[in-house]
Chains A and B, each alone.
Chain A
Amino acid sequence: DAGVTQSPTHLIKTRGQQVTLRCSPKSGHDTVSWYQQALGQGPQFIFQYYEEEERQRGNFPDRFSGHQFPNYSSELNVNALLLGDSALYLCASSTLRGPSYEQYFGPGTRLTVT
């Protein structure tokens, strides 16, 4: 079991550009959550995908969008990048079919916007 995987590991973009980050959930998981972690802060919830739909969303602008594919993998897209979007982006997978919401985290993608 490969666990949760994310790609790329690191990414450098320029202000105004668009970026796509990818996440593959742990085997058996059907739910993917995305979090943004700024330097020195705890992660902040962006949104959660289940059954290819956005199930819940945190306080992030529409520039942040996502997608979930039939194989449960997910993408996070950020448009019109700002310097403040520089952060570690974490993906976590879980299943809503079980009795608990234990989430397994990927290694993260570190995005730097210059």
Chain B
Amino acid sequence: KNEVEQSPQNLTAQEGEFITINCSYSVGISALHWLQQHPGGGIVSLFMLSSGKKKHGRLIATINIQEKHSSLHITASHPRDSAVYICAVGGSQGNLIFGKGTKLSVKP
């Protein structure tokens, strides 16, 4: 079993839909990261959180430390949100353990 599990693996949505991507982890962590990866490879950090909820524009990330679960929500989705979204958890030493990613495609 992977230490970081994401669901779904693939997600297709219509423009304007509310999107949720889930992440569950089985290890102790100091922080959880949500990352965005576009075709070509570049990774952008969206959120780093260790408790509660963070919001940035149309993106919202939540984490429940007791349940070892996090969600990434996208409100009013847009085709430019199409990308792979990756959940990663950080140990106390700073290395990251990644999920396999969720490939999101938003259709106009």
Contact = CB atoms under 8 A, between A and B. Distances in A.
Contact of B94 (A31, A41, A58, A105): A31
B95 interface: yes
B94 A101 contact: yes
Interface stretch (B12-20, B38-46, B60-68): B38-46
B99 A105 contact: no
Nearest to A96: B94
A102 B48 contact: yes
Contacts of B45: 102-105
Contact of A101 (B31, B43, B86): B31
B41 A88 contact: yes
Contacts, number: 70
A110 to B, nearest CB: 7
Query: Which 8 A-B residue pairings sit nearest by Cβ, starting from the closest?
Result: A42-B98, A105-B43, A108-B41, A101-B94, A107-B42, A45-B95, A42-B100, A88-B41
A90 B86 CA distance: 14
Given A42-B86, A101-B31, A102-B48, A90 B41 contact: yes
In which size bucket is the chain A interface?
20 to 34
Interface of A: 31, 33, 35, 37, 40-45, 48, 55-56, 58, 88, 90, 92, 94, 96, 100-108, 110
A41 B100 contact: yes
Given A90-B43, A105-B42, A44 B94 contact: no
A58 B91 CA distance: 13
A96 B4 CA distance: 24
A107 B41 contact: yes
Contacts of A100: 31, 48
7 contacts: A45-B95, A100-B31, A101-B94, A102-B45, A103-B45, A105-B35, A106-B42
Given A101-B31, A108-B42, A33 B93 contact: no
B97 interface: yes
A90 B97 CA distance: 14
Contacts of B90: 101
A60 to B, nearest CB: 12
